[in-house]
Amino acid sequence: MANLPGINKLNNKTAFLWLATASLSFASSAYAAANIEVSPKATQLARDALIVDTHIDVPYRIEDSYADVTKATKDGDFDYPRASRGGLDAAFMSVYIPAEYEKKGGSIALADRLIDRVEAMVGRAPEKFALAYSTQDMLDNQKAGKISLPMGMENGTPIEGNMENLKYFYDRGIRYITLAHSKSNHISDSSYSEDKPHQGLSDFGKKLITEMNNIGMMIDISHVSDQAFYDVMAVTKAPVIASHSSLRHFTPGWERNMDDKMLQALKKNGGVIQINFGSAFIHEEANGYNNKRKAAVAAYKKAHPKASEQDVKGFEVKYKKENPYPYASLDQVLDHFDYAVKLIGIDHVGVGSDYDGVGDSLPENLKDVASYPALVQGLLNRGYSETDIRKILGDNLLRVWQAVESYGEKH
């Protein structure tokens, strides 16, 4: 789940405009997604390769508005039929904890409830889905033709300052923790917070990194402040992931994305950046869209102090019609892959789409989990080899997760 300047949904997934599935039409040998023609080669590679998407926000989506994703759904970005068509092998289910739970309490209960929902998905369709507590589980599930549902916790608030809770959630299946989300918490400062109370990681956060290493749990540095990132780099003994981040080079000044220096530190650590597909992560115009819209509404209100609420809404509708949201293109998403690969190498880049977490802001050709073949086609068109594409789709994440497991087994 990502907070976007282009989509006003801070801690409010109820406002999502879930995307329809009719944007893709399928044929026996290839399918057309918007304006890209996906070849049989790309379709087959998507089927054969291990595809691991490290951030999909299904649990909170169905907590807020229930849908049975073991079957086709009219809304959202993920369900079994589309995931199967897209060749997805492992979808990390995001156990998303809104930032306000840090103060109001109840985060453990919410996390348990969302984990229960993932387990229930598998229970309803054990021939389609399977839990994955390890890399071996994931590979075994792939061989059995099942989609793995490993889990990551987005926002470490449920740890509640107690290392016993880390072990509890590991035992429940959590395999990575995004240390903070839209506000700083007791573990880490957030990239979104103006206040940075810890100036990086808290003292507890630094101890948590060591314990996560020792237990064999991946550390996710998406959402944390720059200083918190460097604190993690200084403490961790195992590779880390950015489960759903993109590149600041294309969104200058936006701390939520990673800059070049951070990417180089990630390479030295042996970690991987999983590229987020949300349009606001991809290009500057989408990144600033919502701020411009808010400024226009504020200017209208100032110029029309007696305007009714209906008048203001009418202005907003007119503004959006005249200034439509600037969706990213597949080519712009591919630019992020190209830039990262050239800067830090093919072994450190992967896929963390943020499906079901970025609302109606997904790029053309990448509207849901049926779209991975379009990504593959784009990479083929840019000259990537099949081996390199396999690394991006899942092998790089597999390597990192295996390294984290190995470190945990030795400590």
DSSP string over 51-119: -EEEEE-HHHHHHHS---TTS--SSSS--HHHHHHHT--EEEEEEE--TTHHHH--HHHHHHHHHHHHH
Q: Are residues 217 and 321 in the same domain?
A: no
Q: Are residues 81 and 48 in the same domain?
A: yes
**107 pLDDT exceeds 60?**
yes
Q: Are residues 231 and 131 in the same domain?
A: yes
What pLDDT was estimated at residue 4? 60
pTM beyond 0.85: yes
Query: In this structure, is residue 1 part of a structural domain?
Result: no
- Cα distances from 108 to residues 19, 177, 188, in angstroms, run 30, 14, 18
Residue 354 to residue 263: CA distance in whole angstroms? 20
Among 325, 345, 376, give the residue marking a domain's end: 325
Instruction: Select from 275, 278, 276 the least CA-distant residue to 287.
Output: 278
**17 pLDDT exceeds 60?**
no
**31 pLDDT exceeds 90?**
no
Instruction: Select from 95, 89, 92, 63 the least CA-distant residue to 76.
Output: 63
- Please write the tens of the pLDDT for every residue from 314-347: 999 999 999 999 999 999 999 999 999 999 999 9
What pLDDT was estimated at residue 64? 85
What pLDDT was estimated at residue 1? 74
- Cα distances from 60 to residues 49, 115, 124, in angstroms, run 28, 10, 18
**25 pLDDT exceeds 70?**
no
Average pLDDT, the chain: 93
Residue 9 to residue 379: CA distance in whole angstroms? 31
Query: In this structure, is residue 3 part of a structural domain?
Result: no
Among 273, 298, 325, give the residue marking a domain's end: 325
Q: Confidence class of residue 22 from pLDDT cuts 50, 70 and 90? A: very low
Instruction: Select from 316, 320, 183, 340 the least CA-distant residue to 257.
Output: 340
Could you tell me what percent of the chain has a pLDDT over 90? 91
Q: Are residues 292 and 348 in the same domain?
A: no
- Please write the tens of the pLDDT for every residue from 240-257: 999 999 999 999 999 999
User: Is 372 within 8 Å of 105 (Cβ atoms)?
Assistant: no
Q: Are residues 319 and 332 in the same domain?
A: no
**27 pLDDT exceeds 80?**
no
Instruction: Select from 226, 243, 248 the least CA-distant residue to 336.
Output: 248
Residue 127 to residue 346: CA distance in whole angstroms? 34
Q: What token pair was written down for 361?
A: 């802001």
What pLDDT was estimated at residue 40? 98
Residues composing the chain: 411
Instruction: Select from 13, 411, 42 the least CA-distant residue to 215.
Output: 411
Residue 177 belongs to domain with CATH number: 3.20.20.140
Q: Are residues 316 and 185 in the same domain?
A: no
Q: Whole domain around residue 341: which residue ranges?
A: 32-283+328-409
Query: In this structure, is residue 25 part of a structural domain?
Result: no
Task: Give the residue-averaged pLDDT of 31-51.
Answer: 86
What pLDDT was estimated at residue 9? 34
Alpha helices by DSSP H, 270-371: 279-282, 284-287, 289-303, 309-322, 330-344
- Please write the tens of the pLDDT for every residue from 269-319: 999 999 999 999 999 999 999 999 999 999 999 999 999 999 999 999 999
Query: In this structure, is residue 26 part of a structural domain?
Result: no
Q: What token pair was written down for 45?
A: 């590679």
Q: Are residues 303 and 273 in the same domain?
A: no
How far is C-alpha 255 from the chain's CA centre?
16
Q: Are residues 346 and 393 in the same domain?
A: yes
Q: Confidence class of residue 3 from pLDDT cuts 50, 70 and 90? A: low
- Please write the tens of the pLDDT for every residue from 152-189: 999 999 999 999 999 999 999 999 999 999 999 999 99
What pLDDT was estimated at residue 30? 32
**34 pLDDT exceeds 60?**
no
**199 pLDDT exceeds 90?**
yes
Query: In this structure, is residue 9 part of a structural domain?
Result: no
Task: Give the residue-averaged pLDDT of 371-376.
Answer: 98
Q: Are residues 300 and 379 in the same domain?
A: no
Q: Are residues 156 and 293 in the same domain?
A: no
Instruction: Select from 122, 111, 113, 32 the least CA-distant residue to 80.
Output: 122
Domain count along the chain: 2
Pairing of strands 24-26, 218-220: unpaired
Per-residue burial over 3-15, b = 16 or more CB atoms within 10 Å of its CB, e = otherwise: bbbbbebeeebee
Q: Are residues 127 and 151 in the same domain?
A: yes
Residue 197 to residue 241: CA distance in whole angstroms? 24
Task: Give the residue-averaged pLDDT of 33-39.
Answer: 79
Query: In this structure, is residue 301 part of a structural domain?
Result: yes
Query: In this structure, is residue 257 part of a structural domain?
Result: yes
Instruction: Select from 25, 42, 15, 32 the least CA-distant residue to 379.
Output: 42
Among 302, 325, 348, give the residue marking a domain's end: 325
**197 pLDDT exceeds 80?**
yes
Task: Give the residue-averaged pLDDT of 357-362.
Answer: 96
Query: In this structure, is residue 243 part of a structural domain?
Result: yes
Under DSSP, is residue 293 helix (H, G, I), strand (E, B) or coil? helix
Q: What token pair was written down for 210?
A: 């060591």
Task: Give the residue-averaged pLDDT of 35-63.
Answer: 97
What pLDDT was estimated at residue 361? 97
What pLDDT was estimated at residue 2? 63
**19 pLDDT exceeds 90?**
no
DSSP 283: -
What pLDDT was estimated at residue 18? 27
Q: What token pair was written down for 214?
A: 């020792």
Q: Confidence class of residue 125 from pLDDT cuts 50, 70 and 90? A: very high
Q: Are residues 279 and 313 in the same domain?
A: no
Task: Give the residue-averaged pLDDT of 145-157.
Answer: 99
